[in-house]
Structure 1
Amino acid sequence: MSHYKQQSHVVWKCDYHIVCCPKYRFRILTGVVKALVEEDIRMLCEWKGFEVEQMNVQSDHIHLLVSIPPKVSISELMGILKGNLAIKLFKSYPQLKRKPYWDNHFWSRGYFVNTVGLNQEMIRRYVHHQEEQDKKEESNRQHFSLFDQVHITSMSALKAMPSFFSPNPTPLGVVV
C-alpha cells in the first residue's frame, strides 16, 4: 500500500482507515463469527480488487486499513462489505435474525473513515495493536471502578471529620 498503483488511465494511492460496529455495539464478533467476518472481508475485498493492508476484528467493532481504486466510493465499499457480511451471517446463524433487536440489520448505520497519508505506518500499528490496548483499558476501568468505590467510602469518612480549612474551623472533639 505504500506504493502507487496504476490502471490504464490513472495512477493512484487511495488508502483509508475504516471502523464499523455491529448494531447497538453488541459484542458479537467473537469465535466463529469473528473468523467468518475476517475471512469474508478478505474474500470480498480480493473479489472487488481492494487491498486489505491491516484488519483487526474485535468483539464490538472492526478496524480496517484498505486501499481502493479511485472509481470506488467509500460508501460503495461499505455497502458491499456490510451488506454481504450481514446476509452471510444471517444465513449462517439464523438465530441472530430471530432476536427482536436485529430486525434484518446486523451493522450500525454509520462508520468512521479517515484518509491515510504520511501517518500510514502509525495507523497500521494502531490497528494491529488495538485489541491489546482495549484489553489494558478495560482492565484499568475495572481497577478504577474499584478505586472509585473505595475512594467514595473514604471520602464519606473524610466529610464527617472537622475541616481545618473552612473560614470557621471547628476545634477537634467539638461536634457542631
Structure 2
Amino acid sequence: MILMAMIYKNRYAAFNLQVHLVFITKYCRKVLSEVHHAYFSECVAEVCKSFDAELKECNGEADHIHMLIQYPPTVQISTLVNNLKSVTSRRMRSNFIDLRAAYSKPVLWSRSYFAGSCGGAPLNIIQQYIQNQQG
C-alpha cells in the first residue's frame, strides 16, 4: 500500500515516480572529490527544479555519482539525463581546473548511464493487487 504522503499531485495526475540515476566519469577516471560531489549536488538540484523535479539523495565515489530524483510524469528521463550531464559537466569543468586538466577534450561524463525506476510497493505486491482486481 502506498502512503498518501508519498503521492504527489498536479492539475491532472497523482503520481509517485522516482528514478535512481548513476553517472560515470569518462574512462572511469577517479577525478571526483567531496568538493566536486557537493557542487554537483547543487547543480543537479537547480536543474531538477527547472523540470519540476526534486533531488532526494546524491552521493558517490571518485569515478561515479548516484542520484535519487522524484519527478512528475511530464518529464522524459532521457531529456532530464541529457540536461543533467551537459549542465554539470560544463559548470564543473569551468569551476574546477583539476577536472579540465583530467581530460584533453571538454568532457566529464561517459555517454553511458544507469537509470532504474524505484519507489512505491515491491513488484510482487503490485502484481498481487492487479491479479486480485475484480473485472
Q: TM-score, normalised by structure 2?
A: 0.76
- Tell me, yes or no, if structure 1 residue 14 matches structure 2 residue 17: yes
Q: Which has the larger radius of gyration?
A: 1
Secondary structure, counterpart of 1:87 in structure 2: helix
Name whichever structure is richer in strand by fraction. 2
Larger RCO: Structure 1 or Structure 2 (Cα < 8 Å, ≥ 6 residues apart)?
Answer: 2
Shift of 1:95: 5.1
Q: Give 5+ residue unaligned stretches, structure 1.
A: 120-176
Q: What is the RMSD of the two structures over their aligned residues, measured on CA atoms?
A: 2.1
Q: Give 5+ residue unaligned stretches, structure 2.
A: 123-135
2:127 is matched with: none
1:77 is matched with: 80
Secondary structure, counterpart of 2:55 in structure 1: strand
TM-superposition CA deviations, 1:133-166 (whole Å, max 9, x none): xxxxxxxxxxxxxxxxxxxxxxxxxxxxxxxxxx
1:165 is matched with: none
1:30 is matched with: 33
Shift of 1:32: 2.4
Matched pairs, number:
118
Aligned counterparts of 2:61 and 2:41: Cα–Cα separation in 1: 10
- Tell me, yes or no, if structure 1 residue 93 matches structure 2 residue 84: no
8 Å CA contact retained: 1:23, 1:102: no
2:66 alignment partner, one of 57, 63, 68:
63
